[in-house]
Amino acid sequence: MLARGLFTAFLIAVVAAPASAQEKTPPYWASIASGEAMTRTGPGKNYPGVWLYQRRDLPVRVVKKYDTWRLIQDPDGAQGWMLVTLLSDKRTAIVKPGDARQIRAAPNDGAKVRYTAQAGVIGHIDKCGDGWCRIAVGKRDGYIHTADLWGVAENEVVD
């Protein structure tokens, strides 16, 4: 009986996990959960594939939803329909094109520079506000200007 209860609890947790992503109202930010994720011209597997993404954690903007499909926009502005199970609520951001960006020890321009991040680097963000985001790239973390990232709105607060 205990094993059945644990299995039921596990099943409920697995089924309920994507529900939060499915209940959000676009537009909102998400990331690609899979190492390979296809976008299509319409919301169904019968529509032709447009692009195969092979970059887990790539931030995307969900702009529309239909059933279990989401119309996403990538950092280059391309759009396509993706199955919601290929998306994650995990917040990530990509460093915008241009010069390397300084990642600082604290959210202010006078703080010590911990490292620099080149354009195209993807990191996990867990806190943003007052023009700064806390970003983790691998085992390194620090603060970067929100304006240097794609994957978070300029005045968005992330907790």
CA distance 72 to 80: 6
pLDDT in tens, 148-157: 999 999 889 9
- 23 confidence band (pLDDT: 50, 70, 90): confident
Domain count, the chain: 2
Same domain, 35 and 51: yes
The CA distance from 158 to 138, in Å, is 20
The pLDDT value given to residue 17: 42
| Residue-wise pLDDT tens digits, 78-131 | 999 999 999 999 999 999 999 999 999 999 999 999 999 999 999 999 999 999
Domain containing 142: what range? 93-150
Is residue 117 a contact partner of residue 100, using CB atoms and an 8 Å limit? Answer: yes
1 found inside a domain: no
Q: Is residue 18 part of a domain?
A: no
Give residue 20's pLDDT: 54
Tokens matching residue 35: 């190492």
Model pTM score: 0.84
CATH number, domain with residue 77? 2.30.30.40
Question: Do residue 42 and residue 59 come from a single domain?
Answer: yes
Distance of CA 142 to the CA centre of its chain: 18
Closest CA to 68 of 82, 84, 86: 84
Residues 57 and 76 in one domain: yes
